[in-house]
Amino acid sequence: MKNVRGAMGHRSTSRAAAVTVGILAGSMALAACSSSSPSTNGGTSGATSSEKVGVSLILKTLSNPYFVSMEKDAKTEAAADNVSLTVAAGKQDGDTQTQISAIDNAISRGDKGILITENGNAVNTELAKARAAGLYVIALDTVPTPASTVDITYGTDNEAAGKLIGEYTAAKLAGQKAVIAMLDLFNDQVVSVDVARDHGFLEGMGIDPGSTTQNGQEAKSGKYTGGTGGDYVIACHQPTTGAIPGGKTAMENCLSANPNINVVYTINEPAADGANQALKAAGKSGVTIVTIDGSCNYVNGLLKDGTIAADAAQYPGKMASIGVKTIADIARGGAKPTLPAGKDFINTGTALITSQPITGITSVTPASAAGTCWGS
């Protein structure tokens, strides 16, 4: 699941976004500046600029536009960096066996590195074999468990993305009582992206999540301190599986629990779409729906028309293109990237998109975001 590309936004400028981009640019500059230095890999010389560097991109599936955008941008970067790119993907979410075979093939081919969006930790043993064989392994989008399974991860700071939409929501409320529906990914398993986005939203609202590892542990009523502050009630936590039908059912359940909901947080855009369908069917209007992802489908649709009030964008293609460049640079003797202090991944950024900008909240318009969205 789904990072920042430089789009011109609403007039105010975010120092946080600037720092994020600066950190990323610094990491890439370090690798680029070292690309002509001698290899330190056991004294073995690296590839020359005229030699093809073999890289494997192993995706969850190719049925999801999120991962298709990774493939597209990885191929563009590969052409620019003289990289021979091999793309493989699971047949469906959770298909680890196809990914394991693709890892074995990368080792056999003598590839210099692997980029992977894991379908599950069943691939971890094979990734360890790849690293032992000298391949540089990069996870994209989500930090694996444990993080040390790979050399490094490029992905979105999902907690920061959640904070963006939480801060926006608190400011938009302008002191009004918030009756909040939390439409998460699951309620029967703990997934890092689910927890990070949920907690980030609450933190942006100025509500203590009550736990560092689980959803639904916050106080169910109290004061939010974001914006000008006000009272809040958590009406529900419902699972959506990140899909339109799940979002619709979850919202129906939430409205049954509390028909006065005026804020809906959703794990992703399809869940927001489903929630909106349920709200319309119930004759509800004036509800603030916020979400995370930044796909072209929703940037040019429900976000543009204001149905979704705000969206925190990710940029999966950027993760993949940076990954290709990183492996190519390392194969040619460049420096390996290092993690920022206290982080287990390199953040490729996020940005708030809204057609309803609020003074003091940095955002980009859907029209600007359309130039850097993913999918079609």
The sign of the dihedral angle between the CA atoms of 70, 75, 80, 85 is positive
SS3 category, 179: strand
Q: What mean pLDDT, rounded, does the chain reach?
A: 89
What pLDDT, in 10s, does the model give residues 130-139? 999 999 999 9
Q: What are residue 85's DSSP bridge partners? A: 55
Helix axes 158-173 and 192-205, enclosed angle (nearest 10): 30
Tell me which residue of 3, 7, 2 sits closest to 367, measured CA to CA. 7
Q: Are 337 and 152 in contact (CB under 8 A)?
A: yes
Cβ distance 56 to 88 under 8 Å? yes
CA-to-CA dists, residue 211 to 159, 173, 376, angstroms: 14, 25, 37
Stronger pLDDT, 35 or 277, i.e. the higher one: 277
Q: What is the Rg, in whole angstroms, of the alpha carbon atoms belonging to the chain?
A: 21
Look at residue 47 in the predicted model and tell me its pLDDT. Answer: 73
Could you tell me the strand order of the sheet in which 310-313 lies?
221-224, 230-239, 178-184, 263-266, 288-293, 310-313, 351-353
Rounded Cα gap, residues 34 and 297, in angstroms? 39
Cβ neighbors of 154 (< 8 A, separation 6 or more) are: 138, 139, 140, 141, 319, 322, 323, 326, 345, 346, 348
Under a CB-based contact definition with an 8 Å cutoff, are residues 350 and 160 in contact?
yes
Which amino acid is it at 339?
Answer: L
Return the biggest CA–CA distance within the chain. Answer: 69
Quote the CA–CA distance of 49 and 353 in Å, as a whole number. 39
Structure token pair of residue 162:
């959640």
How far from chain centre, in Å, is Cα 187? 20
Contact between residue 266 and residue 290 where contact means Cβ atoms under 8 Å apart: yes
For residue 193, which of 252, 117, 272, 95 has the smallest C-alpha distance?
Answer: 117
Cβ neighbour number for residue 38 with a 10 Å cutoff: 10
Q: What is the pLDDT of residue 190?
A: 87
* pLDDT for the residue 19: 32
The fourth-level CATH superfamily of domain 35-156+315-334 is Response regulator (3.40.50.2300)
The one-letter amino acid at 372: T
Burial 292-316 (b: 16+ CB within 10 A, else e): bbbbbbbbbebbbeebbbbbbbbbb
Share of the chain above pLDDT 90, in %: 84
What pLDDT, in 10s, does the model give residues 38-58? Answer: 233 333 346 777 799 999 999
Q: Please check whether residue 240 is in contact with residue 246, taking contact to mean a CB–CB distance below 8 angstroms.
A: yes
Structure tokens at 37: 């230095």
> What is 158-313+355-369's CATH number?
3.40.50.2300
Q: What is the pLDDT of residues 85-133, one digit of tens each?
A: 999 999 998 999 999 999 999 999 999 999 999 999 999 999 999 999 9
Region for 137 from its dihedrals, namely left if φ exceeds 0, alpha if ψ lies in -120 to 50, beta otherwise: beta
State pTM to two decimals: 0.83
Please state the domain extents for the chain: 35-156+315-334, 158-313+355-369
pLDDT band at 37 (very low <50, low <70, confident <90, very high): very low
